[in-house]
Amino acid sequence: MEKYVHILKGKGLKITPQRLTILKYLDENRTHPDADIIYNDLKSMNPSLSRTTVYNTLDAMRNIKIIQELTISKTETRYDYHTDPHHHFLCMKCGSIIDVDIKCPHQDSKEVDGHRIEEIHGYFKGICKICSNE
């Protein structure tokens, strides 16, 4: 848990039990969950947790860039504990998001056509290996 305290402190965020819990959850669940899944999974162990806090916390952590928002799915925002740059595959059948580790020549670009880049997202959509085999 000291690890998460350190990460938050380093970025100037106040340490709260809720933030530690959510950050730990994202670190240990690399399934690209959405806010509602995070809320429901943590609710049982943290009965006072509020949905709004989950949203607020995710937003705060996105601001300091320790997590990343994925807008690959049309219906909900999903979250990714931010480490090395990588692309994502969304299965249009089962809805799971899978990391794809491919080389992208633009991954470290700071601008395109004069526009300043802050985030780069590579999204593939299709049918995943498992769903393809029925």
Interface contacts to its own copies, rule CB under 8 A: 69, 71-74, 77, 89, 91-92, 98, 100, 102-106, 109, 111-129, 132
Paired tokens of 129: 């290996």
Nearest partner of 131 among 90, 91, 88, 97, judged by Cα: 91
10 part of the interface to DNA, by CB under 7 A: no
8 Å CB contact between 85 and 119: no
76 part of the interface to DNA, by CB under 7 A: yes
59 part of the interface to DNA, by CB under 7 A: yes
Query: Could you tell me the smallest distance in angstroms from the CB atom of residue 58 to DNA?
Result: 8
17 part of the interface to DNA, by CB under 7 A: yes
Q: How do beta strands 78-81 and 97-100 pair?
A: unpaired
8 Å CB contact between 56 and 91: no
48 part of the interface to DNA, by CB under 7 A: yes
For DNA, the binding residue among 23, 26, 49, 72 (CB under 7 A) is 49
Q: To 5 degrees, how large is the angle CA 127–CA 120–CA 128?
A: 10
**Site of interaction with DNA (CB under 7 A):** 9, 13-19, 34-36, 46, 48-53, 55-57, 59-60, 74-77
